[in-house]
């Protein structure tokens, strides 16, 4: 057994078959499991929760969100319960080939290794990439790494980014945006054929944040507290209204709600942000979908 609790691949095969001598039925299963088909171009939320209390109680889900584009499935911030929420939303975890994790706090990173296990069949087939911070991938001081060495070897590549760094994968460009959080963290500006998709991650508001995310087609903002209630390393609804007013996305989505915001009602907070920013705003919920071609929300 290795550090992950898994036996080496060859010893996991039954009936004396090695990793290169799989029986025909096992080969057929794996090929079907790993086959890549063109997906609908859409965004799917696997939850809308953030903060320690929401993670602990799971009053709303914390699975992050999925972007499906062409043959790519991108999993953003797979928090606790991500695989369960994917199954409930009829998302096949094995289709994932890109993971973006904004930082190492567990409500954003907890299920990274589980997702990699699903998409590589426990490391049998090397697949996919992880884009994240140095702390998440390599560790720093007393923090991390979150990525276990077994699953690091299962990936084709890892990209530890700092704000301003970028990675190009096919016709997609991942740009790390600045944050003002209490740890090593990045946001995301994803340039796609349908325009940019922005994600703030956990951060306080700043003009440089609005500048980095200006002109996104869709802008997803983590908002911890309602109204003007302050928390120095997170945004509240008033901060998000200011962000949307400055960045001017076509659609704004709020997510990663703390308990106080949930009690205030995310739909009402979205309404107030929309009124203040003059941007169409939706509150995330488990199963919320956005068609990237038409921007229809369902």
- Count Cα neighbours of 9 within 13 Å in the Cβ-side half-sphere: 17
Which uninterrupted H or E stretch holds 174?
strand 172-177
* pLDDT value of residue 40: 85
Q: Does residue 6 register a pLDDT over 70?
A: no
In a domain, 12, yes or no: no
- Alpha carbon distance 166, 116 (integer Å): 22
Q: Name the pTM for this structure.
A: 0.88
Confidence of residue 3 (pLDDT cuts 50, 70, 90): very low
pLDDT tens for each residue of 24-67: 666 565 655 555 556 789 999 999 999 889 999 999 999 999 99
- Alpha carbon distance 98, 109 (integer Å): 14
In a domain, 220, yes or no: yes
Of 155, 245, 237, 242, nearest to 206 (Cα)?
242
In a domain, 213, yes or no: yes
Which residues face 69 on adjacent strands?
Answer: 72
In a domain, 261, yes or no: yes
Helix (H, G, I), strand (E, B) or coil at 147: coil
Q: Residue 51's domain is classified under what CATH number?
A: 3.60.15.10
In a domain, 296, yes or no: no
In a domain, 7, yes or no: no
Count of domains for the chain = 1
pLDDT tens for each residue of 160-196: 999 999 999 999 999 999 999 999 999 999 999 999 9
In a domain, 22, yes or no: no
Q: Does residue 10 register a pLDDT over 80?
A: no
* Domain that residue 87 falls in: 36-289
In a domain, 24, yes or no: no
């Amino acid at each position: 057994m290795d550090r992950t609790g898994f036996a080496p691949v060859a010893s996991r095969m039954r009936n004396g078959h090695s990793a290169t001598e799989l029986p025909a039925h096992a080969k057929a299963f794996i090929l079907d499991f790993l086959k890549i088909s063109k997906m609908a171009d859409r965004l799917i939320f696997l939850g809308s929760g953030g903060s320690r209390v929401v993670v602990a109680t799971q009053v709303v889900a914390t699975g992050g969100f999925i972007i499906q584009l062409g043959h790519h499935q991108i999993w953003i911030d797979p928090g606790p319960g991500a695989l369960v929420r994917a199954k409930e939303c009829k998302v096949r975890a094995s289709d994932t080939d890109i993971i973006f994790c904004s930082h190492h706090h567990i409500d954003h990173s907890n299920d990274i290794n589980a997702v990699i296990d699903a998409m590589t069949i426990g490391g049998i087939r090397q697949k996919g990439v992880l884009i994240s911070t140095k702390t998440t991938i390599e560790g720093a001081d007393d923090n991390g790494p979150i990525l276990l060495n077994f699953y690091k070897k299962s990936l084709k590549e890892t990209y530890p980014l700092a704000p301003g760094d970028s990675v190009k994968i096919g016709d997609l460009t991942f740009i790390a945006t600045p944050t003002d959080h209490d740890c090593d963290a990045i946001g995301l500006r994803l340039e796609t054929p349908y325009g940019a998709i922005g994600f703030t991650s956990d951060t306080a508001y700043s003009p440089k944040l609005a500048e980095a995310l200006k002109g996104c087609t869709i802008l997803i903002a983590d908002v911890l507290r309602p109204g003007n209630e302050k928390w120095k390393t997170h945004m509240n609804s008033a901060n998000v209204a200011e962000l949307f007013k400055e960045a001017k996305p076509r659609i704004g989505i709020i997510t990663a709600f703390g308990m106080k915001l949930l009690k205030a009602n995310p739909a009402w907070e979205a309404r107030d942000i929309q009124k203040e920013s003059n941007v169409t705003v939706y509150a995330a919920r488990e199963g919320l979908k956005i068609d990237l071609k038409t921007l229809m929300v369902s």
